[in-house]
Amino acid sequence: MKASHRFLQITPVRKFEHIFFNLLNFHFFKRSEGGNLLFSASPQMLFPLTAIPYVMAMEVILFRGKRYFVKLKEQVVGIFVLREKPRTLYINSIAVAPEYRRHGIATYILGYANKRAKQLDKKWLELSVLKVNTPALQLYEKLGFTKKEEKKWSYILSREVISG
């Protein structure tokens, strides 16, 4: 069942919410395709040893990006980051809560990113996806993204901004 888009709301993350955003990013990524491979071996007692460095690294990596929550009736069900490049709007850290995956939330996020890219007069949307994250890769390809670059663990995908 698809999440009704009329109940979804995208809100900018305020500065004091950054740590919460990064913890959600860690939590959602840990429970995703590929993320579970990186974190599944760590016992619960080692959680702070993996979560804290991840959260702090994300603060540095996402420094120049604009972070967003996707809320469904006040509950955060997804997160993402938009970063402007000269001709491109780069979508970072798309993550959807596992219990809300396959409900149209990632598609909604990409639609929002396309709309923002048009407002900012960008020509391209770009994102990266882990090679092992087959469901996300299939979704992005279904939505018109193609492989622009291959890295060791991931692909950089791009798509022209859709006008109209």
Predicted local distance difference test score (pLDDT) of residue 59:
63
Q: Domain locations in the chain?
A: 7-160
Nearest to 114 by CA among 162, 80, 77: 162
Q: What is the rounded CA–CA span in Å between residue 58 and residue 50?
A: 12
Q: What is the band of 17 on the pLDDT scale with cuts at 50, 70, 90?
A: confident
pLDDT score for 14: 86
Q: What is the mean pLDDT of residues 67-74?
A: 90
pLDDT band at 39; cut points 50, 70, 90: very low
For the chain, what is the radius of gyration of the CA atoms? 15
- CATH topology for 7-160 is Aminopeptidase (3.40.630)
Residues linked to residue 159 through DSSP beta bridges, in sequence order: 125
Q: What is the pLDDT of residues 74-100, one digit of tens each?
A: 899 998 999 999 999 999 889 898 889
CB 127 within 8 A of CB 94: yes
pTM of the model: 0.79
The most confident of 25-34, 47-56, 70-79, 120-129, by mean pLDDT: 120-129
Whether residue 57 is predicted with pLDDT greater than 70 in this model: the reply is no
User: Cα–Cα distance between 84 and 127 in angstroms, integer?
Assistant: 12
